[in-house]
Amino acid sequence: MEDFVADGERVPRRGRPPVSDEQRGRQRLDISRHAVRLFAEQGVAATSGEQIAKAAGVSERTLWRYFSTKESCVEPLLTQMVDAFRTVLHAWPPELGLIEHLRTAYQPVIDSSSGADVEAVLAVVRLTHDEPALRAAYLVLRERAEETFTEVLAERMGMRPHTFDVRVQAAVMSAVLKAAADDFARETAGRGITPEALEGHRDRLADALGLATRGLSGR
């Protein structure tokens, strides 16, 4: 821990060292994993913030500092899924069609080597069908992601991001992603994620988005 200077003298700092953004992000994601497990096991209504904090090994004070409600605890995991598509979309090469790019580069979460995170994300998607508060958090994140879609699509289409055609394409892309995620979650419920299921999900998503963005450069 670094010291600070007072009246020309170096004085040791007291208390805990500040938490970095990276550490905060890791802790929020860990809390999210425990919250989703509890929600899936016993339902959202029966799960308290105290239980989530205890499962994650943090104080309730820490939990509520990171999340405004217990339902919002799912956001870090859902963000993993949204950010995964943002990442692959930003990496879309000019000379390659979207279908080909997605089939080789798309992963359902940022770090797909963590199969547990993929399963947890799909568990949240399933829960959103019966839990209005979780559905609201899910839809808000999807809406925010459309800003990235409009930026990339506008460049491809040679238009401004706020134009109607670009915004329609972005909205269609968002709808396709949601439908594909719902389909993948339903298909893998109680079965687990197999390489064949993941490949099928990737192909269906690529085909559907290829149709939705037909006419863009790099087709």
- Give the pLDDT confidence of 37-69 residue by residue, as tens digits: 999 999 999 999 999 999 999 999 999 999 999
Which of 60-88 are b and which e, b meaning 16 or more Cβ less than 10 Å from the residue's Cβ?
Answer: eebbeebbeebbbbbbbbbbbbbebbbeb
Indicate the pTM of the whole model. Answer: 0.78
For residue 40, count other CB atoms closer than 10 A to its CB: 16
Is the pLDDT at 219 greater than 50? The verdict is no
CA distance 147 to 87: 13
Work out the average pLDDT over 146-168: 87
CA distance 118 to 180: 14
